[in-house]
Amino acid sequence: MIRPAQSAIEIDVIVASARWKEPKRAEAAVRRAVNRAAAAALSTSGTELAIVLADDSAMRLLNRDWRDVDAATNVLSFPGAGTRGRHLGDIVLAFETIAREARAEKKPFAHHLAHLAVHGFLHLIGYDHERDNDAEAMERTEREILRQLAIPDPYRPRSRTAKSRARSKPASRAKAPKAAKLGAGRSRKRLGMPPSKP
Give the pLDDT score at 20: 97
Comparing C-alpha atoms, which of 79, 83, 149, 137 is closest to residue 111?
Answer: 149
Give domain 9-190's CATH architecture: 3-Layer(aba) Sandwich (3.40)
Average pLDDT over residues 175-185: 40
Give the pLDDT score at 183: 43
Write the pLDDT tens digit of every residue in 103-156.
Answer: 999 999 999 999 999 999 999 999 999 899 999 999 999 999 999 999 999 988
What span, in angstroms and rounded, lies between the C-alpha atoms of 69 and 21?
27
Residue 195 has pLDDT above 60, yes or no: no
Residue 158 has pLDDT above 80, yes or no: no
Extents of the domains making up the chain: 9-190
Confidence of residue 56 (pLDDT cuts 50, 70, 90): very high
Burial, 100: exposed, middle or buried (Cβ in 10 Å; 0-12, 13-18, 19+)? middle
What span, in angstroms and rounded, lies between the C-alpha atoms of 57 and 93?
11
Write the pLDDT tens digit of every residue in 68-87.
Answer: 999 999 999 999 876 567 89
CA angle (20 as vertex; 165, 127 as ends), nearest 5: 55
Give the pLDDT score at 112: 97
Using the CB atoms, write b or e for 79-89: b if 16+ within 10 Å: bbbeeeeebbb
Please state the pTM of the whole predicted model.
0.79
Residue 88 has pLDDT above 50, yes or no: yes
Residue 162 has pLDDT above 80, yes or no: no
State which amino acid sits at residue 178: K
Write the pLDDT tens digit of every residue in 21-38.
Answer: 999 999 999 999 999 999
